[in-house]
């Protein structure tokens, strides 16, 4: 999968209060980059705790469920667009289907 953009992940983990997210986000990035997800079922097979939501959005639990990562998936082109990365409290304030 091609991931757009890694910079959003890096900017998140570079903030002092979220430094502990660096290794889990790098691990997710590495696994997702090497994946070939053609369907939501393929994502669920790799990440059983991922939540598939409307508008091709997928929510991943990162760092032992401490953080949330929302991506929009373009299955035909195998592209993941990072739409949100944050804490559970920050996640609760967004509309996951519209980010």
Distance of alpha carbon 46 from alpha carbon 1, whole angstroms = 13
Where do the H-state alpha helices sit in the chain? 6-13, 22-33, 40-46, 88-92
- For residue 54, the model assigns a pLDDT of 93
Q: Which residues of the chain have pLDDT under 50?
A: none
Would you state the pLDDT for residue 18?
A: 97
Structure tokens at 84: 């949100």
pTM: 0.94
């Amino acid at each position: 999968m091609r991931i757009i953009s890694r910079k959003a992940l890096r900017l998140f983990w570079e903030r002092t209060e979220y430094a502990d997210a660096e290794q889990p986000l790098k691990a997710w990035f590495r696994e997702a980059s090497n994946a070939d997800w053609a369907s939501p079922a393929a994502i669920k097979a790799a990440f059983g705790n991922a939540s598939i939501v409307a508008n091709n959005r997928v929510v991943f639990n990162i760092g032992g469920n401490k953080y949330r990562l929302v991506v929009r998936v373009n299955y035909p082109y195998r592209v993941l667009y990072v739409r949100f990365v944050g804490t559970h409290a920050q996640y609760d304030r967004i509309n996951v289907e519209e980010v």
